[in-house]
Amino acid sequence: MCFTIPLKVIKIGAGFAVVEGNKKIKIEKLMHLKIGDFLQVNGGLAVGKLSIREGLRIRKIINDIYKN
């Protein structure tokens, strides 16, 4: 089972995106991204794209788990 973390895209390049924390993430060429989108990231690789709403929802769940 993999655990992915939703991270917000802040910059897009050829074959990569820079996300929060200034981390460079590999992306698929077919992935249509825009600044502000959320990516599901595991091991420096984008494994999926989330809507902004879904990214924020998952982030809140993760934060709530770690607060308790």
Q: Which residues pair with 5 in a beta bridge?
A: 41
Instruction: Domain 5-67: give its CATH code.
Output: 2.30.30.140
Amino acid at 8: K
For 31, phi then psi, to 5°, come to -80, 115
pLDDT, residue 2, reads 74
pLDDT, residue 61, reads 94
Q: Which residues of 31-57 are buried (b: 16+ CB within 10 A; e: fewer)?
A: eeeeeebbbbbeeeebeebbeeeebee
pLDDT digits (tens, 9 = 90+) for 5-42: 899 999 999 889 999 999 999 998 767 899 999 999 98
